Structures are given as structure tokens and as C-alpha cells.
Amino acid sequence: MDLSIVIVNYNTRGLLKYCLKNILELNLPFDFEIIVVDNNSQDSSVEIMKSLYLTNPKIRLIESKQNLGYSAGNNLAIKKAKGKYLFIFNPDIKPLPGSIDKLYDFMEQHPQVGLAGPKLINADGSLQYSCFRFPKFLIPVFRRTPLGRLPFARKKIDWYLMKNWDHNETKPVDWLLGSALVVRKDALERVGLFDERFYLYFSDVDWAKRFWLNDYQVYYVAPAQVIHLHRRESADTNWLESLFDKVTRIHIKEWLKYFWKYRNKSQCQSPNFK
């Protein structure tokens, strides 16, 4: 099989329905499957899947009895996937015509690339930053507090977001946002699955670092474009209030886990971004 499209859903029935509809309408020229993992949604996502999509032989549903989060949820599907390449999409992704084809062709032509991602754009067509440098310890603090407005912190954030790069060019990057990724499945024999110690955040950062450490390249593929209907979890909350928010607590906990995991390891073999 050419590719397996993996989607982890949790209480996003509308987005999931829209995502599946858009993928199927692409009429992909590949032998493919779609595996949806439902993380114990309470919003009738499973009922919609069963009534609308499970008659399609290309679509499979895995029902989890609990919300496993991003890493463990994706791993459930990856273990069962049959494709040469894995396309990992969040339900809020709309792949544009030709995007999956371009990612597939890129991976076929670049065997040393283990992990790649498309250019993410907002619904209005504007750029959404989706490729990054590996974070320094204070980057999450700068991004979640007023400290980020200070000139020196703003400079650090811009460096982290790679704002000085032309995002219309295909290039190697440190890591890519986990909302839309393509993975060479046989590379996972060396790299491994997502680290399930990361529930929601930093699993994509950690995975990219492990690809580089195992001599696989990580690439941003600009010609492949997908719409990401993304909204930051803390977008509607005051920064002080967000410190007591459950999602923020998870973010802080996993930020500390990530830096603790790599505390004694040398820098991975990614490009030396200045």
C-alpha cells in the first residue's frame, strides 16, 4: 500500500467530517487507507463515522476507551498502518488539490528524508508558521507571557519561528508542527514511535529530533499546501488566567519533560541555523 492517512479525533465531529470529505474528494491516485482513532469523544463523532464513512473500505475506525492524547492516539493507528508512508493529519486540516501528491513524490525522490511537512496556510490564504528551530529553554515562557513583548524576547521568538526565512522555499528544518506530517514508515524501525510520555505537546519536537539523531533529514516542502483551521488553545484567555488553565499546565509539564529528556545529550544533526 502506498500511504496511510492517520487522523486522531477528540470531540471535533464537524472538523473530522469536513476533513474526511475533503480527502475523499481529492480522488488520490494512490492505493491508500484512512485510519481514524477516536479518543473517547462524547460528541457523537463515532456515530457519524459509523453512519457516513465506515461503508467505505478505505476507512477504518479505532475506538479508544479513553482520551490517550496526541502521541498514544497516533501510535494506535501507526501500529496498524499498512502504507509505505504515513500521513498524519489533525481533523482541522484541509489538504488542497495536489498537496498529498507533492509530499508523496518528494519522499519518493529523497530517500534520506524520514519526516516532512507541507506549507500550512490559514483559511484566508496567509502563512501559518509551521517549521521551527529547536526551542531554547525560555521560548515557551516568552510565548505565553508579556515577557515576549520585550525586544530581546521578540527577537528570540522570531528566531524560533524562522521568520527570517523564505517560507516559499523547500528546505531542511529542525522540526515541524505535528498537525500535518508525512513519515517514511520503515524509518520508524530506527526512530521509533511517538514518545507517549508527551500527551499533547512537544511530541512533534521530540520526534523530529530523533529523526535527525538517527541520520534522517526533516524537510519543509513549500509547494505542498494545506489549510490549517488552527486556533491556539490560549488565544481567548488572559495570560495570567491561562497559567491556571489545564492545557497550559500540560504544556508546562511537557516542556519540562522535553528539556529533561535531552539534558545530557549533544545537539542533534540538524542544519546549523544561525
In a domain, 271, yes or no: no
Q: Which residues contact 185 (CB under 8 A, 6 or more apart)?
A: 4, 78, 81, 83, 84, 85, 86
| pTM confidence score | 0.91
Rg value, the chain, Cα: 18
Quick: pLDDT tens for 33-44: 999 999 999 999
Output the CA–CA distances (angstroms, integers) from residue 125 to 106, 119, 121, 130, 228, in the order listed: 23, 11, 6, 14, 10
In a domain, 168, yes or no: yes
Torsion of CA 87, 90, 94, 100, to 10 degrees: -10
In a domain, 160, yes or no: yes
Quick: pLDDT tens for 192-228: 999 999 999 999 999 999 999 999 999 999 999 999 9
Handedness of CA 218, 223, 226, 227 (dihedral sign): positive
Enter the C-alpha cell of residue 110: 529523497
What average pLDDT score do residues 131-142 get? 92
What average pLDDT score do residues 219-242 get? 74
Domain count, the chain: 1
> What are 91's strand-pairing partners?
none
The per-residue pLDDT for 142 is: 87
Nearest to 207 by CA among 166, 268, 153: 268
Mean of the per-residue pLDDT values of the chain: 92
- Which band of pLDDT confidence, cut at 50, 70 and 90, is reported for residue 272? very low
The per-residue pLDDT for 215 is: 97
In a domain, 274, yes or no: no
CATH of the domain at 211: 3.90.550.10
Domain with 139 in it: 3-261
Q: Which residues contact 256 (CB under 8 A, 6 or more apart)?
A: none
In a domain, 273, yes or no: no
The per-residue pLDDT for 145 is: 82
The per-residue pLDDT for 235 is: 43
In a domain, 125, yes or no: yes
- Which band of pLDDT confidence, cut at 50, 70 and 90, is reported for residue 273? very low
In a domain, 270, yes or no: no
Q: Which residues contact 45 (CB under 8 A, 6 or more apart)?
A: 9, 11, 12, 13, 16, 38
Length reported for the chain: 274
- Do residues 167 and 217 lie in contact, with contact meaning Cβ atoms separated by under 8 Å? no
The per-residue pLDDT for 271 is: 54
- Do residues 254 and 199 lie in contact, with contact meaning Cβ atoms separated by under 8 Å? yes
Enter the C-alpha cell of residue 201: 505537546
> What are 61's strand-pairing partners?
36
Quick: pLDDT tens for 91-135: 999 999 999 999 999 999 999 999 999 999 999 999 999 999 999
- Which band of pLDDT confidence, cut at 50, 70 and 90, is reported for residue 274? very low
Residue type, 235: A
Quick: pLDDT tens for 46-62: 999 999 999 999 999 99
In a domain, 267, yes or no: no
The per-residue pLDDT for 243 is: 56
DSSP structure string for 32-84 = EEEEEEE-S-SSSHHHHHHHHTTTSTTEEEEE-SS--HHHHHHHHHHHH---S
25 burial level (CB within 10 Å; 0-12, 13-18, 19+): exposed
Quick: pLDDT tens for 161-170: 999 999 999 9
